[in-house]
Chain A
Amino acid sequence: MAGPHLLVVLRADPAASPRAVEARDVALAALAFEQRASLLLLGDGVGLLRPGQASAIGAEDPLPGFRALLHHGLERLAVVAEDLAERGIERADLALPAVVLERAGLARFLASHDHCVGF
């Protein structure tokens, strides 16, 4: 992996717009170009990791696409503990393996990347 370390930040509810899919595609493109890439779920974006979310509303399940990112070399999938708690999502139930950050450590996490692209 070469080039800048890209952090893709998803703040949008995955069920409410195509932004989750488009964020995934940006991360996938970075990995395809052999760039370093990580993904941070913020705010309503943590809904991506709620188990059974897509099937409950009859929507296409975005999880397989995000799981594929992990297999293609995504360095980190991170979420914020407070965002999970505010939405009633238990750490133990996350649908994908993720690093759980405290909100207080977010600035340092962001600063460890070269570019951030927010969705």
Chain B
Amino acid sequence: MVFSLIVLNAPWQGQAAQSAYRCAQALLAAGHALRQVFFYGDGALALVPGVTAADQPDLDRAWRELATRHGIPILACTTAAERRGIPVDGSAGGAARPGTLGQLMLALGDSERVLTFAD
């Protein structure tokens, strides 16, 4: 089955981002396809790597590795990012690449299931 994931929270805002990553891992391990991971709202902070405390999971690195290993598009909405003062030229260095709601719509059209992660 083909899935897309939407993440609405930044990594430090509760469990949503961590749950999304674990879900992505589980879906891939079960043989499902992941069409896209889309960070929206405060989740657009995935465009910047931020600072991870020593006792916290490094989600930025985890998403980057997952994208590289499985070739999954990991995008963050540029409009949501601009609302939050985040650079949208791709220079911020986070795991996600700049994306648009149009790309989200295309992914939804290709997906059989869409899961939203928000606290």
Contact = CB atoms under 8 A, between A and B. Distances in A.
Interface in B47-98: 79-80, 83
B109 A35 contact: yes
Contacts of B116: 116-119
B118 A29 contact: no
B101 A26 contact: yes
Interface residues of A, number: 18
Given A4-B109, A22-B41, A119-B8, A29 B114 contact: no
Interface string A107-119: 0000000011111
A69 to B, nearest CB: 14
- The A interface, classified by DSSP as helix, strand, loop or mixed, is mixed
Interface in A70-102: none
B111 A119 contact: no
B76 to A, nearest CB: 13
Given A3-B109, A22-B41, A116 B114 contact: yes
Contact of B102 (A19, A33, A116, A117): A33
Contact of A115 (B102, B106, B114): B114
B6 interface: yes
Interface of B: 6, 8, 40-41, 79-80, 83, 101-102, 104-106, 108-109, 111, 113-114, 116, 118
Given A3-B109, A33-B105, A35-B108, 10 more contacts: A3-B108, A18-B41, A26-B40, A29-B101, A35-B105, A35-B109, A117-B114, A118-B116, A118-B118, A119-B8
20 contacts: A3-B109, A19-B8, A22-B40, A22-B41, A22-B80, A26-B104, A29-B102, A29-B105, A30-B108, A32-B105, A33-B105, A33-B106, A35-B105, A115-B108, A115-B113, A117-B6, A117-B114, A118-B116, A119-B41, A119-B116
* 7 interchain residue pairs of minimum CB distance: A29-B101, A33-B105, A115-B114, A3-B109, A118-B116, A22-B41, A117-B116
